[in-house]
Amino acid sequence: MPLIPLRPVLEAAETHGYAQGAFNVNAVCQAKAVIEVHEMLRSPAILQGADLANAFMGGRTDFQNGTLEDKKKGAKNIADAVRKYGEQSPIPVVLHLDHGRDFDSCVAAIEGGYTSVMIDGSSLPYEENVELTREVVKYAHPRGVSVEGELGVLAGVEDHVFAQNSTYTNPLTAVDFLKKTGVDALAISYGTMHGASKGKDVKLRREIPIAIRECMSHEGIRAFLVSHGSSTVPQYIVQEINALGGEIQNAYGISKEELKAAIPCGIRKINVDTDIRLAVTRNLRELFRDCPELKADPVVGPIWTLLDEKRAAFDPRAFLPPIMDTVMYGTGEGEALARITGAIERGVKEAVGTLIVEFGSVGRYPLVRMDTLETMIRRYKEGV
């Protein structure tokens, strides 16, 4: 089955009252693992490549400095990987750009094979955010591609997204934004934060999505609310990393109970990245502990060197540059490399599988309309 846009997946979540996890990937083996665990649990799947993940998958190990050309190359690499595993899958699979930085980044993702894009204009003045988002919608919808926007500012750090303080989303402004832009989904600020340092015992402002949904209903707007910065940062994984030589401090997430309580308030897509990073990093450290001979392996030994040097890091992109061909294309042979990719895949499945269950999308894939890009071109044109 071809990859499908975001909108049909969120329509099913809205109709049946659950949330769909959206999980970030930065390597071919991660994409494989995300799809496989969704298949096992019969859940629809949303895989996300962040704007700078595209740069990394384009071979730019200093991805913070990635160029548009790097992103074009990486977008195709991610899309090729997701198609490889997703088109042979019975479940609906979406490939979504997370935090598109500008119009050109969104175009690069769409041309590379993404079926959904997020344009993040939340740091811009309101009218500029509206105009930028509207331009992306005008480009994407005639191609059948869904669009997510963002309104309000989330504190925290994730790739190039940084804000010291949060600005909650104003429900009346959200409705105006939805009417002017025509986006399919809207990321809102209601208490979540990017990164692993969210603080203890975060309480979400559930009245915000409730109010937005009430206003949307009054205006007859059919769009879907998204929760960014929603990693749970499992404490058992943090503790295991530190017991294995890591030095991660002050890492706390949004509790699963808080996230689950937001679902009846209208949250339909929940973005998770940090949980996956932590589980993969833990597994890599554990692998080198249990198989110390790998430290001297010419292919994967340099990964251990980086793990040992960067004890406070937990983003696997800090450790994987020695095997970039495997990251970008899924190529490479040998038992040592297979152990690395196996450890990565198990970590992804642990983090993702847990949240598929918690968010309620287990067994839901038959509920999703399998609308292809071609079908969505017609739907967008007809406004249905």
342 exposure class (CB count in 10 Å sphere: 0-12, 13-18, 19+): middle
3-class secondary-structure state, position 119 = strand
Tell me the C-alpha distance between 150 and 47, whole Å: 18
Q: CB–CB of 154/232 below 8 Å? A: no
CA atoms within 13 A on the CB side of 309: 8
* Number of other CB atoms surrounding residue 379 within 10 Å: 16
Residue 325's CB is within 10 A of a number of other CB atoms, namely 12
For residue 123, give the amino acid letter.
Answer: S
Handedness of CA 32, 37, 43, 49 (dihedral sign): negative
Active site residue 98: yes
Which of 98, 275, 297, 371 is the catalytic position? Answer: 98
Alpha-carbon distance 214 to 226, whole Å? 16
What is d(CA 288, CA 276) in angstroms, rounded to the nearest whole number? 19
DSSP symbol at 65: G
Residues marked active site are found at 98
